[in-house]
């Protein structure tokens, strides 16, 4: 019964995906409208006249393509000057750190509650919906997910503002139900790679793991570790 109900819930996640596929242009228009509504009364939105945008063409003419260097002064207003409603109309409490591949410097990428809920987490739900749609008899929802994140360290850089690895930010804000179905956070976000690898392998060998979440190359190393420690072959 539980499995049937769970499958039904996950299958429902496919419906919005199907809607996107059937009407991609309408989806893009709705997304643009949503972003303009949240940005209209911000400092950035007022400068670029978001309230005058009536179509995709007017958006392109009023809002220039911006590089990180162009946006950095706005980020400083949030982080340094503690200003609100700069780029978004709700508080920005998290900043993900990039790997610093450009100009050899890490970048502060703002992460809002809405981007987590409507972007990162919703994408995960849609992914599950797609999988369940193509594999209706799946039983992966009955077990746990083996999750490997980055470093747990989050640094306070302002009044209620923190920065760190995006995986740490994602795990800190996971819905409660999702947290119960995955690798313990204290293990998944350990900063020391070797310690994390060993503890994840130990945990996996004693748990009912049905899915894997993480960077593919990292997961491959972990799976090889589990196979070696368990003495099993595949």
Residue with token string 């990162």 = 120
pTM for the whole structure: 0.81
> Residue 83 in contact with residue 43, Cβ under 8 Å?
yes
Neighbours of 175 (CB within 10 A): 12
Q: What is the pLDDT of residues 189-212, one digit of tens each?
A: 788 889 989 999 999 999 898 888
pLDDT at 86 over 60: yes
- Does residue 178 sit in helix, strand or coil? helix
Q: How far is CA 182 from the centre of its chain?
A: 15
Provide the pLDDT for residue 101. 57
Q: What is the pLDDT of residues 105-132, one digit of tens each?
A: 788 999 999 999 999 999 988 998 998 8
- CA 129, CA 122: separation in Å to the nearest integer? 10
Q: What is the pLDDT of residues 151-173, one digit of tens each?
A: 667 888 878 899 988 888 988 88
Mean pLDDT, rounded, of the chain: 88
The CA–CA distances, whole Å, from 23 to 10, 34, 219, 227 equal 22, 17, 35, 45
Q: Quick one: DSSP state of residue 182?
A: B
- CA 186, CA 208: separation in Å to the nearest integer? 19
Q: What are the φ/ψ torsions at residue 33 (nearest 5 degrees)?
A: -60, -45
The CA–CA distances, whole Å, from 173 to 25, 45, 99, 121, 185 equal 31, 27, 21, 10, 11
Q: Which two tokens stand for residue 156?
A: 């306070």
Most distant CA pair in the chain, distance: 65
Residue of 158, 12, 47 lying closest to 92 (CA atoms): 158
- CA 136, CA 105: separation in Å to the nearest integer? 45
pLDDT at 3 over 70: no
Q: Which two tokens stand for residue 228?
A: 């070696």
């Amino acid at each position: 019964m539980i499995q049937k109900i769970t499958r039904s819930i996950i299958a429902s996640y496919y419906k919005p995906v199907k809607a996107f596929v059937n009407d991609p242009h309408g989806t893009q228009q709705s997304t643009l409208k949503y972003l303009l509504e949240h940005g209209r009364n911000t400092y950035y939105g007022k400068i670029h006249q978001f309230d005058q945008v009536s179509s995709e063409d007017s958006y392109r003419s009023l809002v220039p393509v911006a590089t990180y260097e162009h946006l950095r002064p706005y980020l400083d207003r949030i982080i340094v000057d503690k200003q609100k409603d700069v780029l978004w109309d709700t508080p920005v409490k998290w900043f993900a750190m990039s790997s610093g591949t450009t100009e050899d410097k890490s970048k502060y990428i703002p992460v809002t509650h809405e981007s987590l809920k409507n972007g990162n987490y919703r994408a995960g739900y849609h992914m599950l919906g797609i999988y369940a749609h193509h594999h209706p008899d799946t039983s992966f929802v009955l077990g746990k997910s083996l999750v490997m994140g980055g470093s747990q360290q989050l640094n306070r850089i302002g009044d209620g503002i923190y920065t760190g690895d995006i995986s740490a930010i994602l795990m800190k804000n996971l819905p409660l139900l999702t947290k119960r179905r995955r690798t313990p956070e204290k293990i998944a976000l350990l900063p020391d790679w070797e310690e994390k690898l060993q503890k994840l392998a130990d945990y996996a060998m004693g748990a009912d793991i049905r899915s894997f979440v993480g960077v593919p190359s990292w997961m491959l190393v972990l799976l090889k570790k589990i196979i070696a420690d368990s003495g099993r072959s595949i």
